[in-house]
Amino acid sequence: MNVDLELYKIFYTVAKYKHMTKASEELFISQPAISQSIKKLEAQLGGVLFLRSNKGMELTEEGKMLYKYVKDALELIKNAETEFTSFKNLDKGEVRIGISTTLTKLLLIDVIDKFHKDYPNIDIKITNNLTSDLILDLQRGKLDFIIFNESDMKESNVEIKTIKKIRHGFIYNPDFYEDTVNLDNINNYPLILQKKESNSRKFLDSYMLKNSIILNPKMEVVSQDLVLEFTNIGLGFGFCMIDLAKKNYPKLKELKINKDIPKININIATNKGENLTFATKKFLEYLDKK
């Protein structure tokens, strides 16, 4: 049985007021049209729903049973519509983001601050992890989008958009070292690099190989934060995002080398098989303005 929901709405309104006139006023439908709708519903259900009299419309026993269920169903639909509107108006919702700690500090903090001031009821959930792990969480539907730097990502169900280009370079503390280095002699200096699994290190190694150089670092650490920390206390020359170094360690200087290091793309990846929520779409608009 496939009954038009509109017929149930008309039935519910007539049963609530027990009167055709009042139902007609609320629904903005003529009384003859309401009468025809009730007859149609009764025909489809195969039973009588109302006893018609001079006093109005009284429900039959079967009609009372149907009214109870229809009332609950329509109220549930109304509540769902109200809830949907709350999400649409950004009075509710959440944004699930996957990103490295480094990019969180460099790109995301200011955006979150502004977004939260405008939409304080939206929950923002941040997952910091390796890009490879974040991709898996994105594909499993655990994240709405991820932000990452250069990668050889080739997953067919992931859509990638470049939002920014960031310059990387070698930095040092001038209290311990002097400037200007020939790239060919970079291994003569104590290098502090991220581990080979990181995207930044993969990018650096690839660039160096194009210049016939295989790096031999003094230290390998898990994050650019540690690269900066160790560089700041004079343990060597670090490789990191220049903007991040300037923002958090203004004393550190960029090493002048004889070759330009290309900029790195910062990308957003979304799952092609998942629809973005209202909150996520709005957050991405804020991120585009960054």
CATH number at residue 57: 1.10.10.10
Domain boundary among 48, 63, 88: 88
130 vs 122: CA distance, rounded Å: 25
pLDDT digits (tens, 9 = 90+) for 137-179: 999 999 999 998 866 666 778 888 888 888 999 999 999 988 7
**In which band, very low, low, confident or very high, does the pLDDT at 1 lie, cut at 50, 70 and 90?**
low
pLDDT digits (tens, 9 = 90+) for 37-87: 999 999 999 999 999 877 788 999 999 999 999 999 999 999 999 999 999
- 238/128 same-domain check: no
Domain boundary among 48, 72, 88: 88
- 177/120 same-domain check: no
- 156/215 same-domain check: no
- 175/250 same-domain check: yes
How many CB atoms neighbour CB 279 within 10 A? Answer: 23
Element (DSSP H or E) covering residue 75: helix 61-88
* pLDDT over 90 at 101, yes or no: no
- 59/124 same-domain check: no
pLDDT at 178: 81
Domain boundary among 41, 61, 88: 88
**In which band, very low, low, confident or very high, does the pLDDT at 268 lie, cut at 50, 70 and 90?**
very high
- 34/65 same-domain check: yes
Contacts of 147 (CB under 8 A, 6+ apart): 97, 98, 99, 100, 103, 107, 108, 163, 266, 267, 268, 269
- 180/68 same-domain check: no
Count of domains forming the chain? 3
- 124/107 same-domain check: yes
CATH code of the domain containing 110: 3.40.190.10
CATH code of the domain containing 244: 3.40.190.290
pLDDT > 90 fraction of the chain, expressed in percent and rounded: 61
Structural domain boundaries, residue 49:
5-88
Helix (H, G, I), strand (E, B) or coil at 221: strand
- 75/33 same-domain check: yes
- 56/178 same-domain check: no
- 255/181 same-domain check: yes
